[in-house]
Structure 1
Amino acid sequence: MGLVLRKAQLDDASAISTLIIAAIRQTNANDYPAALIESLPEHFSAGQIAARMSMRDTYVALDAGVVIGTASLDDMTVRSVFVLPEYQGRGAGLALMTQIEALALQRSISTLSVPSSITAEGFYKRLGYATIREVYEGVEKIIVMTKTLVP
C-alpha cells in the first residue's frame, strides 16, 4: 500500500461520504442496532461533509489516488476517523491520527478528546486514549476518550 496523506479538498467530499457510510454499514454494524446503522448515513452526505470541512481541519489517506480514510480536528476534538473496511488494520487510521495529533501539537493543544464508537474504542486505547465517560444519544453509545499529547 502506497499511503499518502493530505489535507482534504472540497471535491473529496463525495469519496469521504462513501467511505464513511461503507465503514458504518460494514464495521460498526457489529456493535450497534440495525435501525441505528441505517439512520447514521444521513448524517454523512457529501454536502454535510463539505460543510463540516469548512469548520474543521480534515485529512484524507489515499492509496493509488483513491481516498481510503479520513480524520478531522475540530478545535480540541478528533472527529470522523474512518477507514474503508478493506483497508482497516493496515496503518491508514494510525497515520491519520498521527497527523491529527501533530497538528494539535503545532497549535499548542495539549489534550485531545474523541467521541468514540464502541467499534473504535480499542483502536483509540492502543493509541493511548483513556475512557472518561460514556454517553448515549438515543440508543447510540458514545465513549468519550482523551489523551494528553507529549511533544
Structure 2
Amino acid sequence: MKPQTRPATPADASAISQVIILALRQSNALDYPPDIIAQVESSFSTESIRTLLTRRQVFVATIDSRVVATASLDRDVVRSVFVDPGHQRAGLGRQLMATIESIAADAKIEVLRVPSSITAQAFYFKLGFRKVRDEFHGAERTIIMERRLPSL
C-alpha cells in the first residue's frame, strides 16, 4: 500500500515515540555514543510526544494505517524527522519534508532551519539545506542547517 502523510493526533503519540526510539537506537547509534542516545531518547516518551503535539505541527507517514515516520514544524524550525529503520531510504522522509515545506510556504516562511543530527546531515543536504554552524549540547553535536524556500 502507498504511504499516506497526515497530521498526527494524540492517538499517534505511542507509535511516534516507538518510531523515534527505534531510529535512535539503530540509525543514530552509529554516530553517537550510548549515553547521548539515552539522553535524547528520554525526550521522546509517549507523554513527551503528547506535549509536543500541542506545541508543534506534527505529521506522520503511515503504511496500512501504521505510523512509520514522523516530522514536525515549530514555526520556522523542522524538528524530529525520524523514519522507522525498516522503512528508511524509501522516500518517507522526503515525503514528510515536502509536507513541511508546503506548510511553511503557506505560512510565508522564507527560511527553514533544522538542527540536524550527524546521522541526518547528508539527507538534509540532498534536500538543499546548507550547514550554518555546529552546536554542542554537552557531548552531543548538532549541525544547524537552513534552506531558503522558493518565493511564491
TM-score category (smaller protein): over 0.9
Map Cα deviations across residues 105-147 of structure 1 (whole Å, 9 max, x no partner).
0000010000000000000000000000001001100000000
Separation in 1, partners of 2:50, 2:145: 26
Partner of 1:68: 68
Q: Which runs of 5+ in 1 are unaligned?
A: none
Question: 1: CA distance between counterparts of 2:11 and 2:65?
Answer: 13
Displacement after TM superposition at 1:42 (Å): 1.0
TM-score normalised to structure 2 length? 0.97
| Deviation digits for residues 39-75 of structure 1 (CA, Å, limit 9, x no counterpart) | 2211100100110110100000001111000000000
Output the amino acid matched with 1:104: A
Distance 1:45 1:109 in 2: 30
Rounded to whole Å, the distance in 2 between the matches of 1:104 and 1:35 is 34
Q: Which secondary structure does the structure 2 equivalent of 1:54 belong to? A: helix
Q: Does 1:86 find its partner at 2:81?
A: no
Q: Is residue 2:68 matched to residue 1:29?
A: no
3-state SS of paired residue (1:32): coil
For structure 2, which runs of at least 5 residues remain unmatched after alignment?
Answer: none
Match of 1:44 in 2: 44
Structure 1 distance, partners of 2:39, 2:130, is 28
Equivalent-residue separation in structure 1 for 2:112 and 2:147 (angstroms): 5
Runs (4+) of structure 1 exceeding 3 A deviation are none
Give the aligned partner of residue 127 of structure 2: 127
Normalising by structure 1, we get a TM-score of: 0.98
For the aligned residues, what is the CA RMSD? 0.7
